[in-house]
């Protein structure tokens, strides 16, 4: 997990603290923030690291196949079941199973997951025999499970069972100071994969990537860099090397520097130039405020007091 910001450092520390226990974990965060990466890190730092880490995207499984995927089935139990299937819970025994986008799981399957967590046993489709398992469940979602519980779309008992150790991954716009490190990391990986020798960004491109809010988060940043390296001919990424749709997005951002400067000045003035309070008001990081103060040449005004007798 790349980054030295306070928020991502706190995430790493929390994952390290809970890794050694068997408690189930719920990871929340927007799409693209790295929930599977966090789950893998949790597994790798746990006593279960020598055993399997198996991932399942609940949003990608048809309702009719959930039970077979998770618990397995006996031969001949349904059309196409030509062999016995172990299922992902059995396959991950001793290790960790990661249930991504668990908010998409059907209610009927939720009840069976709850039973597995409570009994530590599974039962294959078509079998009358229960099998003991030793699995740690890490679940993740980009939805508000509390709201789904209130709407009757997610079981409250399963929510409370999963919500023992909980960690929230911050969106990239809340930790922009991590962007340079992420860029360097991704360029190293992409250069090796694509046979490129890109060493960095021109200043204009760097400013664009720092100013953009990244609704797709870390995944979007990586994808933009990969798309750029597909066609680049130089060792430095220039503005014209970026994908055309991002050139258009960044152009719109650059066309509003006056508005951004005015927002920054207003927030600083309203908080008596307290950077932390201004950052909170703007929903920026402190590093972003400092960077933009430097960009716009803003310094805290020095007021001299004249005493007259």
pLDDT for 187-215, tens place per residue? 999 999 999 999 999 988 998 999 899 99
Report, in angstroms and rounded to the nearest whole number, the Rg of the chain calculated over CA atoms: 25
**What is the model's pLDDT at position 304?**
40
pLDDT in tens, 242-291: 999 999 888 877 655 556 787 888 888 888 889 988 888 887 878 888 88
- 165-196 b/e with 16+ CB inside 10 Å = b? bebebbbbbbbbbbbbebbebbbeebeeeeeb
Gap between the Cα atoms of 124 and 68, Å rounded: 8
Does 150 score more than 70 pLDDT? yes
Of residues 170, 266, 250, the one with CA closest to residue 211: 250
**Alpha-carbon dihedral sign for residues 7, 12, 18, 24:** positive
């Amino acid at each position: 997990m790349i980054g030295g910001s306070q928020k991502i450092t706190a995430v790493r520390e929390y994952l390290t603290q809970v890794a050694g226990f068997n408690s189930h974990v719920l990871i929340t965060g927007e799409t693209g923030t790295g929930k599977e990466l966090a789950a893998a890190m949790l597994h790798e730092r746990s006593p279960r690291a020598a055993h399997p880490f198996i991932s399942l995207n609940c949003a990608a499984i048809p309702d009719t196949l959930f039970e077979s995927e998770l618990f397995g089935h006996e031969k001949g139990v349904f059309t196409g079941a030509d062999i016995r299937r172990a299922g992902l819970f059995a396959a991950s025994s001793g290790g960790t199973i990661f249930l991504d986008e668990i908010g998409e799981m059907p209610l009927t399957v939720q009840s069976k997951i709850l039973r597995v967590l409570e009994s530590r046993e599974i039962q294959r489709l078509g079998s009358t025999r229960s099998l003991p398992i030793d699995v740690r469940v890490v679940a993740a979602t980009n939805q508000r499970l509390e709201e789904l519980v209130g709407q009757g779309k997610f079981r409250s008992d399963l929510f409370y069972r999963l919500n023992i150790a909980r960690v929230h991954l911050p969106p990239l716009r809340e930790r922009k100071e991590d962007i340079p490190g992420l860029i360097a990391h991704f360029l190293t990986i992409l250069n090796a994969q694509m046979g490129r020798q890109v060493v960095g960004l021109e200043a204009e491109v760097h400013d664009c990537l720092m100013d953009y809010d990244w609704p797709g988060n870390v995944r979007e940043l990586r994808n933009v860099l990969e798309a750029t390296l597909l066609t680049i001919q130089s060792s430095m990424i220039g503005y014209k090397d970026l994908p055309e749709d991002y050139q258009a997005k960044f152009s719109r951002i650059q066309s509003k520097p006056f508005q951004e400067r005015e927002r920054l000045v207003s927030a600083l003035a309203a908080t008596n130039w307290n950077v932390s309070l201004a950052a909170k008001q703007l929903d920026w990081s402190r590093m972003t405020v400092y960077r933009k103060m430097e960009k716009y040449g803003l310094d805290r005004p020095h007021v001299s007091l004249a005493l007259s007798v």
